[in-house]
Structures are given as C-alpha cells and as structure tokens.
A = this chain, B = another copy of it.
Amino acid sequence: MARRSGVSVATVSRVFNTPEVVSQQTRQLVLGIAAEVGYLPNESARTLATKKSNMVGLVWDTDHRRPGWRHPFLQDILVALKSALSAQGLHLLMLAPDPSPGPARFLRAVQRHNVDGVVIIDNGSRDPAVLALADAGVPCVALDLRFTGPACTYITSDNRGGGRQAARHLIERGHRRIATITGPMPTYPAVERLEGFTAALAEAGLTLAGAPAGDWYLESGYTAMKQLLDLDPRPTAVFAAGDEMAVGALRAVHEAGLRVPEDVAIVGFDDIEVATLIPPGLTTVAQDKTGIGTAAAEAITAMLGGAATPPPTVLPTELIVRGSA
C-alpha cells in the first residue's frame, strides 16, 4: 500500500476525490509521496467500492450479417466521441457481446463491468439485445436510431431537413423531372430523407419521377439508377439518399454514356470521403460527423452527471455543392 509511505490512511482517498476537504498541508504531502512512489489509484477497486466504472460501453455489433458493422463514417464519429469522452476522463469499452445468446447478451456485459452508460451505434436495427439495455434502465444514447426510454436518448442528423436541402438545390438548378433512390424502406433515416425530399418537391408543385429503394450500398444505387435511366422521359436529376448509392448511380450514368451533371444531376447524402475523391465531385448533404460524436459524449456525460435524460439531438445538415449537381 502506497499510502503507508505517508502517515495517513483513507485520507489519501480524500486527496484524490475531495481534495477541498483536506488541509493544504497534508494534501501536498500525500501528493508528494504519490508522485515519488508512482502511486496510481486502482480503478477496479474503486469500481468495486463505488459501483461506477468511468467507462462507457460502445455497443457496435460487428457481426457481418448485421447492418451496424459497416456504419459509413464510424471512424469520424468514434474519434469525436472518444476525444470528448477522454476529456471527461471516461474510457470507451467496446463491448463483446456475451457468448451465451439471448436478449441479454449486451446487458450482461454491461452489468458485469459496471459500465456507466452505453452508446449504441447500430445503423438502424431493432435488436432485442439493444432494447434490453433500455429496459434495464442503463443510460443509453443511440446514434442514427430513434431510441427512447426513461434513460435513453438519441442523436441524429436532420434527415428531413437534409432531404429538403437536396430537393431545393435541384429545383433551383432548374430541374423538373426529379427522382430519388431511397434507403432500405422501413428504416427511419430512409423514410425521413424521402419525406423531406418529396415535401420540398411538392412545395414547388413537383412530384417524384421515380423512387426505387436501395440498401445504402453501391451496387443497389447502380441498379436503381439503371431503372431510372430506362424511364421515359428520363429524370434529369436524382437524389440518392446515401453517398455510396450515389456513387453507384454515378457509375450507371457513365456507363450509359451520359454525362454528370449535364444529362443527369446527382446529389447524395452523408458526405463520406469518396464524395470529394470521385470526379466530378459529389454534391451531397453533409452530416456533421464530429457533431454527432460530440453530442453523444455530451448526452452521456449529462446523464452520468445525474441530469435528466436529455432530449434527442437533431443536428443540422449542410449541402455541399461539388460537381455532380
């Protein structure tokens, strides 16, 4: 016991937790030997005693058969989340789902480790194992997933607003025959982007020239665009509800021997890295990835701090105009 070095006992504990309650003098003393001896409080012991671990769990199902593992900009979110959490002295524990199956496979891991709260990044699935967390009263913040409950909140981009931005841009550019390629259809980002898009179209007296659904990935955008190109009259602009699909669409247009944006204008959604890399540059509705990560950290910290469950955060999107529309 490093504490032996000094003269005190649990005063050491006070020095590290409630320094203001210790006399200037003994504080210095203790801090002195602590530095000297290289003393570090042991988190496990502390967790055992307090029931708080200073760890927030990350629920991210990396099962390749499920959608969450391939979140389009996880890395950006993660960086922001981790940085913001670190600033509060919180660590991020990537939870390994408990081996024994059943709806408690995340919950068990959470409980065993006394994780204080979790952030869920699951790209749209309604996994019972995730819902179990909410039911158990674990403070949760979900990303890109409506998720509510007494101790649950979520962070999302303004998908509806983003859809409108896309529509307005296309309309301003003079397009009248406009189509969209939606995301997988029961999912809420897909639904909201579509709603925003069609609403803005309607305001301009326009109606959708087509709306095949994709699955967010490139291939589906490619296929959907081919369908759209077969229409007669052919749409002059299409809004792909995700950048990967937009890239697929771009490819289909090129293969058809048409030009972007002259023959067909394309706008995407997300603003992932490829958007800048691919010629002629993808015009797209950008999500604020850093903002999402930061907001998630804030929401969690607030809840851990005992605050009331914060309301959902809806982050504004921004239209980035590049060459494709």
Contact = CB atoms under 8 A, between A and B. Distances in A.
Contacts of A44: 44-45, 47-48, 53, 113-114
Interface size class of A (residues with CB under 8 A): 35 or more
A273 B74 CA distance: 14
A62 interface: yes
Contacts of A19: none
Contacts of A112: 40-43
Nearest to A51: B44
Contact of A48 (B42, B64, B85, B273): B42
Contact of A96 (B91, B109, B113): B91
Interface string A191-231: 00000000000000000000000000010000000000000
A226 to B, nearest CB: 16
Nearest to A254: B279
Interface string A212-254: 0000001000000000000000000000000000010001001
A40 B86 CA distance: 28
Which has the most chain B C-beta neighbours within 10 Å: A85, A108, A112, A251? Answer: A112
A93 B96 contact: no
A176 interface: no
Interface in A52-110: 53, 55, 58, 60, 62-64, 69, 74-75, 78-79, 82-83, 85-86, 89-97, 99, 108-109
A109 B91 contact: yes
Contact of A277 (B41, B86, B247): B247
Given A69-B79, A75-B75, A91-B96, 18 more contacts: A40-B108, A44-B44, A60-B82, A62-B86, A63-B83, A64-B79, A82-B94, A89-B96, A89-B99, A91-B109, A92-B94, A218-B277, A251-B279, A273-B274, A274-B274, A277-B277, A277-B278, A278-B278
Interface of A: 40-45, 47-48, 53, 55, 58, 60, 62-64, 69, 74-75, 78-79, 82-83, 85-86, 89-97, 99, 108-109, 111-114, 218, 247, 251, 254, 273-274, 277-279
30 contacts: A40-B108, A40-B111, A41-B112, A42-B48, A42-B112, A43-B113, A44-B114, A62-B83, A62-B86, A63-B83, A69-B79, A82-B94, A82-B96, A85-B96, A86-B96, A90-B96, A91-B94, A91-B95, A91-B109, A91-B113, A92-B93, A92-B96, A93-B94, A247-B277, A254-B279, A273-B274, A274-B277, A277-B277, A277-B278, A278-B278
